[in-house]
Amino acid sequence: MIKSIDPRPGHFASRPAGLEERIRKPEISRSSSVLKEKPRSFHFGLEWNLNTPLAQTSYLFSGNDSINRPAMLLIPGLVVSKKWNEHQVTFNVSANQSYFGKNQRIAQVVDSTFGDSSLYYYNTNFIKATGINFSLQYHYQFYGPFSVGLGTSYHAFSGMLARKEEENRNGKTYPGPLLRLKGRDEMWPYIKSGSLAFKVGLLFNPGRFQAGANLTIPVSSIIPSPKYPVRNLNGQLFLRFFIW
């Protein structure tokens, strides 16, 4: 006779796992998962510029040898910029920048061989000078990407282009040959070795590219002789690209 065997209470029962033993994934903070990159305030790049005499454009693309070389404008200068809030300070160097005159007289030799009644004059008229330029300019962003700027620049001249001219006692002139001078020793009788100027302008700054225009105003005459002061306004158009 088989007797029924009752299972002992709890013999086949399983113990449920506690909620505290479950493994939970650590929650990731939203603030730590999204890191905002702080925009750079220091920039380095290249600048292409074109100086103009504002009125005459006969020698706009020429060098000191009077030969047109527009490809020279493709050689960039270097620009370094520091920006904070609406303010920006920029320093740039251009290796071959021009300063234009208005064909003004900068020297005159009087020929009085045959007396005062037949005086003859040999004039030298200034066309342009070229050389390395250093500029420091401050800009204030007044509306959107537009900024207004004020600064200073120093132009160290390495060559100049002028024209000889003959003039009779009645004031009638006869254009002569071009005069091409290079180096301080050749230029010194006609032009100073450098010129300090103020710069005012407008800057458009949408991002990595910057474009703008400046007016260059010489502080003093670039001619050694006080008899023939030359302080012409020059204009400038420029384009910048920041690499970093």
Q: What is the pLDDT of residue 58?
A: 81
Give me the percent of the chain exceeding a pLDDT of 70.
82
Q: What is the pLDDT of residue 26?
A: 54
Quickly state the pLDDT bin for 56 (edges 50, 70, 90).
confident
| pLDDT tens-digit series, residues 58-83 | 888 888 888 888 888 899 999 999 99
| Mean pLDDT, residues 223-235 taken together | 91
Q: What would the CATH number be for the domain defined by 40-106+130-160+194-242?
A: 2.40.160
**Distance, CA of 116 to CA of 138 (rounded, Å):** 55
32 sits in which H/E element: helix 30-33
Which CA distances in Å does 207 have to 39, 76, 87, 145, 194? 12, 19, 15, 9, 34
Which three-class secondary structure string do you get for 100-168?
EEEEEEEEEEEECCCCHHHCEEEEEEEEEEEEEEEEEEEEEEEECCEEEEEEEEEEEEEEEEEEEEEEE
**Distance, CA of 60 to CA of 45 (rounded, Å):** 25
- Burial code (b: 16+ CB inside 10 Å, e: under 16) for 192-220 equals bebbebebebebebeeeebebbbebebee
Please determine, for residue 103, whether its predicted confidence score (pLDDT) is greater than 60: yes
In contact, 163 and 125? CB cutoff 8 Å:
yes
Domain coordinates in residue numbering, the chain? 40-106+130-160+194-242
Q: What is the pLDDT of residue 169?
A: 84
**Distance, CA of 212 to CA of 146 (rounded, Å):** 9
| pLDDT tens-digit series, residues 184-199 | 889 988 999 999 999 9
Token pair listed for 100 = 């234009």
| Mean pLDDT, residues 164-169 taken together | 90
